[in-house]
Amino acid sequence: MPDDEYTAVLARAAHHAREWLNSVSERPIAAAVTADEVAAALGTHLGADGRDPAVVVDELAEAIEPGLTAMSSPRFYGFVIGGIHPAALAADWLVSAWDQNTGSRIPTPGTAAVEELAARWLLDLFGLPATSGVGFVTGGTTANLSCLLAARGEVLRRAGWDVERDGLAGGPRVRFLAGDAVHSSMVLAGRMAGLGVPRTVGADDEGRIDVGGLGAALADDAGPAIVALQAGDVHSGAFDDFASAVEVAHAAGAWVHVDGAFGLWASASPSLRHLVAGFEAADSWATDAHKTLNVPYDSGVAIVRDERAMSAALGAHAAYLPVPGAVAEPYDHTPELSRRARGVPVWAALRSLGRAGVADLVDGLVASARALADGLAAVPGLEVLNDVVFTQVCVAAEDDERTSALVRGLVDDGVVWASPSRWRGRGIVRFSVSNRGTDAAEAARTIDAVERVLGELPPAR
Ligand SMILES: *Cc1c(COP(=O)(O)O)cnc(C)c1O
């Protein structure tokens, strides 16, 4: 065993990681160079001769750094991006060092055990059935896809069609329905699952599904159906009325899936759990650990009430794979066969936070979002458009032109980064509070920076 083959290179990696992490909260947030400039700095030609691994790591870190965005800054509010919990980061490094192909409990009992614990803890925190199948997938999109594949198999099985054996072609059509504010990830998952784009049934001003419209659409036709609901609208943060929507969908025999990429975490907080009331009656749920839980990429979680439907859709069978025993194998719950043990960093984050720590994390994000909304609403010329029930805040200036000037001004200023978007027919700046470091002080600093940048723009016409 070469005892020093990894020593120097890991020391360099740890050094660069520390330098980066220590710079993240104070450096200008946006990347300073383009992708082409990073490629040019690295040299685009693969030479014939190799290089020492430690030199490669130094070269990489130096060339890439100006091309990195400080996404884990406590004042980065773009998209929906979590920060990095230290226990999860360190566990993630170990997962790479251990290099376990976590497909089966038999050759990789260590990582399988840790993932099973993480799965059990997640179900417990969310208040979902303890017998549900849980898959550790790459993100919310693959979690949505995994759940839709289980849903598709089950609703077709009930209609007398075996999609796992015979495929979709020639079988009954599966209706796929969602509210008007359905996330693009859900649409993509539907396309990948062969369900096509969902038929939208309406939504209210905050993006909550129109339950009357859902009932009418389901009554329009018969046959297998899947309904996608939403915990946490990406603009407003709003939650569907699960109790009513699940009842209407189940009365029509539909499978109900909940896309809760960031919003499912409301269920882990006693003070926010009312937002998801009734969601536990659904059939499947998707969430991310790389958003609200602040686990590094990539980390999503697919949950299916009927574990057998999940295994039927996703399980693999081959002569060299162990015959599944009483407990499902990890490869029965994810679309991949070979994969890293991405449930291990989830376990580490949960272990480090504890039940109260998870609730405090979610409560803290929501408190900061409210503080941000209050502060921004008080800035002359700014308006908060959504009802801030969770972590999302949509802000607009007097007109679209000024709003986009504000977004650009913030990027150039470097202290705050938020996403441009359109909502309810208006250009907006969207703040998603998803980082464990975004406390009251960072929210106050954000409000100051926005007010200052707005003040530096040419006066409104
Ligand atoms: C982020 C998000 C997704 C997609 O998750 P990824 O991890 O980016 O694949 C799906 N739905 C909602 C509501 C999201 O916010």
**Tens digit of each residue's pLDDT (9 = 90 or more) over 91-108:** 999 999 999 999 888 899
Among 79, 80, 240, 264, residue to substitute to test ligand 1 (most atoms within 8 Å of Cβ): 80
C-alpha 364 – ligand 1 centre gap (Å): 21
Name the band, by pLDDT with cuts 50, 70 and 90, for residue 168: very high
Ligand 1 atom, smallest distance to 298 CA? 7
C-alpha 292 – ligand 1 centre gap (Å): 11
C-alpha 57 – ligand 1 centre gap (Å): 31
- Mean pLDDT estimate for the chain: 96
Mean pLDDT score, 346-352: 98
C-alpha 140 – ligand 1 centre gap (Å): 5
pLDDT tens-digit readout, 44-54: 899 999 999 99
Mean pLDDT score, 292-316: 96
pLDDT at 161: 97
Q: Is the peptide bond before 332 cis (omega within 30 degrees of 0)?
A: no
Look at ligand 1, atom 3, and give the residue with the nearest C-alpha: 140
Tell me the residue ranges of DSSP E strands in 243-358: 255-259, 284-288, 300-304
Look at ligand 1, atom 6, and give the residue with the nearest C-alpha: 140
Name the band, by pLDDT with cuts 50, 70 and 90, for residue 328: confident
Residues pairing with 383 in the sheet:
396
Look at ligand 1, atom 8, and give the residue with the nearest C-alpha: 140
Q: Which of 17-31, 309-323, 331-345, 390-404 has the lowest mean pLDDT?
A: 309-323
pLDDT at 371: 98
The answer to whether residue 182 scores a pLDDT higher than 70 is yes
pLDDT at 214: 98
Mean pLDDT score, 72-95: 97
Place of tokens 């470097």: 414
C-alpha 304 – ligand 1 centre gap (Å): 18
Ligand 1 atom, smallest distance to 259 CA? 11
Among 144, 288, 430, residue to substitute to test ligand 1 (most atoms within 8 Å of Cβ): 288
Q: Which residues line ligand 1 (CB under 6 A)?
A: 80, 139-141, 183, 185, 232, 234, 259, 261-262, 288, 300
Q: pTM score, two decimals?
A: 0.97
Ligand 1 atom, smallest distance to 300 CA? 7
C-alpha 238 – ligand 1 centre gap (Å): 15
What string of DSSP letters covers 172-229? PPPEEEE-TT--HHHHHHHHHTT--SPEE--B-TT--B-HHHHHHHHHTS-S-EEEEE
pLDDT at 325: 65
C-alpha 217 – ligand 1 centre gap (Å): 26
Residues pairing with 303 in the sheet:
134, 285
The H-or-E segment that residue 383 falls in is strand 383-384
Among 144, 148, 183, 433, residue to substitute to test ligand 1 (most atoms within 8 Å of Cβ): 183
> By the 8 A CB rule, do 149 and 292 touch?
no
pLDDT tens-digit readout, 206-241: 999 999 999 999 999 999 999 999 999 999 999 999
For Cα atoms 310, 186, 170, give the angle at the middle one, nearest 5 degrees. 60
Among 185, 264, 431, residue to substitute to test ligand 1 (most atoms within 8 Å of Cβ): 185
The answer to whether residue 292 scores a pLDDT higher than 80 is yes
Look at ligand 1, atom 14, and give the residue with the nearest C-alpha: 261
The answer to whether residue 1 scores a pLDDT higher than 60 is no
379 contacts: CB under 8 Å, gap ≥ 6: 447, 450, 451, 454
Ligand 1 atom, smallest distance to 263 CA? 13
* Distances, alpha carbon 43 to alpha carbons 39, 52, 368, in Å: 6, 16, 43
C-alpha 426 – ligand 1 centre gap (Å): 22
